[in-house]
Structure 1
Amino acid sequence: MRFKLKQLGPGVLVAAAFIGPGTVTTATMAGAGYGYTLLWTILFSIVATIILQEMSARLGVITGLGVGDALRLKTKSKPFKLFTFTLVILAIVLGNAAYEAGNLSGAVIGFELSTKGFKVNPLIVLLALVTFALLFIGKYKLIERFLIGLVAIMGIVFLISAILLQPDIFQIIKGLFTPSIPENGTLMILGMVGTTIVPYNLFLHASSVKQKWKGGSSLSSARWDTILSVTLGGIITMCIMITSAVAFEGQNTKINDLNDLSLQLQPILGTWATEFTAFGFLAAGFSSTITAPLAAAYATAEIMGWKNGFKNIKFKSIWIFVLLTGVVFSSLGFRPTAVIFLAQVANGLVLPIIAIYLLWVLNDKEIMGNHSNSGWVNIIGIAVIFITVLLGIKGINSALGLI
């Protein structure tokens, strides 16, 4: 087990990316509104994410290609290639810029009172500077270890919260293995799945995996890393929902701000509940603040055929653009929810398309050789794509106010 734990890395980047402020808020709202009923959505999300991310990791390990590289190789028709490249670049770069604003705003949401009087929140600037320093240094292992630490902190914080509130174990098991759709709960279900299955993670994973492992002999390590990391991320999300389900049981609480979120911890933490929640948001937002610019840079560099690497000036220009855009929008006072809605439009368009492309590439024996998809992986992959199409429709409609 000790040896296997040392193999953790790229998968943790994926977990760190999807456990952001949006996940914390959505899981809290789901627990407050529906109790344990929607725990099955997290279990489904874990399985779906593992399937897609395993394909992405396998592509990187076996071929040394990122998802963007594979898209560039597989799209031969010029009109089709232009459409694909434009869609992916706009969705990933602009979408991640929007998410970056939400990540930065969400990370410091618990410290707003202490920063009143400043035109620009100094904590946002500080987080941006630390993120800039980590990415500019370009030490992959340093970034990897930093994010492993943040995910570990989040896991401990939310796991302790869930345990101390003494949840109903029977109801947890029932919620996990008895799928049901409560009244007016469809959008919340899609939202829960959508916080875990993130399109830019497919680019991030393949690109980071190929820096750590090469060849079929490393495939088992990459799979272990993927399964354990995504499962850990899912468990953290479950703990947030369980904590909220216990704290808000029998109440009709509407979650509007951090004070509402911190109510779930008051029974065990008293007056420290707000600070504790603020720290959870800080860790969640900070981890996603690092991964969003990095994924955008990987995706663009691969699609455009640039020499990939932290030292490449074009590569740097992309993550700097995403980071600066996030700082500007979050500093101008845009509500994180409004900003993230913009990202939902982009993700709604690109998620099912990238999943379809990934399935297409992973079935190409000329690229994957003996490591192409098996039949059961294809079946599950197609089912996941169907769900992602629904998520795409939901994301676009929500952002446009059609539902």
Structure 2
Amino acid sequence: MLGIGPGIFCIGYTIGTGSVTSMAKAGSQFGMQLLWVLVLSCVFSWVLMEAYGRYAVITGQTSIYSFKTKLKGGKWISILVVGGIILAQWNSLSGILGLSANAIYEMVVLFFPGVSGDSYWPVLGIAIGLIVLMYALLLVGQYSFFEKVLIVFVTVMGISFIISMFVVLPDPGQMLAGLVPSVPDVAGGKLLVAAFVGTTMAAPTFVVRPLLMKGKGWGPSHTAEQSKDAWISALLMLVINLSIMAAATGALYAEGKTIEKVMDMVYTLEPVAGKFAVALFMTGALSAGLSSVFPILMVAPLLVADYKEGELDTRSRRFKILTGFACLVGLTVPILGANPIFAQIVTQVAAVFVLPLVIACMLYLINQKQLMGTHRAGIWLNLGLVASLVFACIISYTGYLALMELVRG
């Protein structure tokens, strides 16, 4: 894990409770049928992390600032990308915090049934405690510290989910069958496909990457390190998401049980895997939530700083004010006592619409000889970027159809 630098933030942005929800729901409802979507999303995420990372270390410039200054109509493109990402991330933050607080409460109830009862005030209290802790950690204001905190969360998350998968390992034949492209022919099937891509090929994963590399001090001499960081991050994203889907498939799909929220795993997994295996899975879900809350709180000040100066500044007054406001936004769902699961999936679908624009902008920049010199994209990277752009456009259209079905329904 120490070999990963800025990529650890990519995992934080990508694998949260929304991702756990999508993977677990898909595994319980469709088995490994959507594995092909996950694999393609992770492959294209690797391509995009490589492209954004190479651009950052060679030019020393960040993505949003480059969009603004080097593209025709760049100011409006930059505003659209920044606004779209912040809106999607803040929208998901509230659901993530609500789910994380619920995960802690449900684990307490699992081992101490006597404390069950009205969950509103305990969950709200836990949510407030979590967000205050996250904000206090952010006030430290050092990139290297943020990286270490995320390494802890992501390591715990990865170990928890991988062990959970082996407790209830599904038939390997199901995994192979899941590599054949198909969309579940049921209501909500298109929505889940789009949500898969929205949670795995997350736009902030790529857009924020150059700014984080700048904060780490990486330059032209670190091209090998950034490439290693990109493929290890993509591989970890695939393994962790695969383990969540496989755990839900092995425990629930064969039994004909489906889940509507991550907390259902507590009650449906317990007879199959026992209390401690369930606690292990829920520890992973909680770590996923916390590993997402941390970078999401930072996304607005990072992108605004990128737009204005193209510099990473984690000690400024603006950083503290914007992260503080994000904390208040995050408490919305816990205060309302709402169920955030459906909103989480819809939010992930909404996130795919800005993705084609983010890919197209980098496809143009990384092929500019005056910027990249001998390091501009070759045939394989260009093929990967074009394929990822086509894939993103198809998924955006799929997301549009899914949302229209919701409206008509």
TM-score, normalised on structure 2? 0.88
Pairwise CA distance, 1:25 = 1.0
Equivalent position amino acid for 2:148 in 1: R
- 1:153-172 per-residue CA deviation (whole Å, 9 max, x = no partner) reads 11111111111224323432
Note the residue ranges of structure 1 that are not aligned, 5 or more in a row.
none
Distance 1:282 1:312, change over 3 A: same
C-alpha change, 1:345 and 1:91, in structure 2 (3 Å) is: farther
CA contact (8 A) 1:108 1:278 kept: no
Describe the SS at the equivalent of 1:248: helix
Alpha-carbon distance in structure 1 between the residues aligned to 2:310 and 2:53 = 21
1:86 aligns with 2:79: yes
Is the Cα–Cα contact under 8 Å of residues 69 and 305 in structure 1 kept in the other structure? yes
The change in CA–CA distance for 1:398 and 1:236 in structure 2 (over 3 A counts) is same
Structure 1 residue 107 corresponds to structure 2 residue 96: no
Contact 1:301-1:308 at 8 Å conserved across structures: yes
The Cα shift of 1:112 comes to 4.3
2: distance between equivalents of 1:112 and 1:229? 31
| 2:340 counterpart (336, 348, 360) | 336
- C-alpha contact (below 8 Å) 2:120/2:337 kept by paired residues: no
The CA distance in 1 between the partners of 2:135 and 2:201, in whole Å, is 26
Which residue number in structure 2 is paired with residue 290 of structure 1? 294
Superimposed CA distance per residue, residues 97-117 of structure 1 (whole angstroms, 9 cap, x where no aligned partner): 111112211212224466735
Q: Deviations over 1:67-125 (max 9, x none)?
A: 1121122134xxx3443233123212222211111221121222446673528711111
**Conserved? CA contact 2:195–2:346, under 8 Å:** no
Question: Structure 1 runs of 4+ off > 6 angstroms?
Answer: none
Contact kept? 2:21, 2:261, Cα under 8 Å: no
C-alpha distance in 1 between matches for 2:57 and 2:268: 42
- Which one of the candidate residues 122, 126, 138 is aligned to 1:123? 126
TM-score by length of 1: 0.89
* Aligned position for 1:139: 142
Task: Quote the Cα distance in structure 2 between the aligned partners of 1:311 and 1:201.
Answer: 22
> Which range moves more in the overlay, 378-387 or 308-317?
308-317
Q: Which residues in structure 2 correspond to 1:289-308 (within 5 Å)?
A: 289-305=293-309, 307-308=311-312
Distance in 2 of aligned mates of 1:253 and 1:325:
34
Q: Does 1:179 align with 2:175?
A: no
Alpha-carbon spacing, 1:324–1:393, altered in 2? closer, same or farther (3 Å)? farther
Aligned to 1:238: 242
Is residue 368 of structure 1 aligned with residue 372 of structure 2?
A: yes
2:32 partner SS: coil
Compared CA separation, residues 308 and 328, structure 1 to 2 (3 A): same
2:328 to 321, 324, 328: 324
Cα offset, 1:272, TM superposition: 3.9
Match of 1:48 among 41, 44, 50: 44
Q: Which residue number corresponds to residue 250 of structure 1? A: 254
Shift of 1:143: 1.1
Counterpart contact for 1:45–1:196, Cα < 8 Å: yes
Q: Percent identity?
A: 28
Q: SS of the residue aligned with 1:129?
A: helix
Go from structure 1 to structure 2 and tell me whether the alpha carbon gap of 1:378 and 1:338 turns closer, same or farther (over 3 Å shift). Answer: same
- Aligned residues of 1:32 and 1:245 also touching (Cα < 8 A): yes
On the 8 A contact 1:356/1:385 being kept in 2, the answer is yes
Cα distance in 2 for partners of 1:107, 1:68 equals 31
Give the aligned residue type for 1:51: V
Change (3 A) 1:366 1:94: same
* SS in structure 1 at match of 2:144: helix
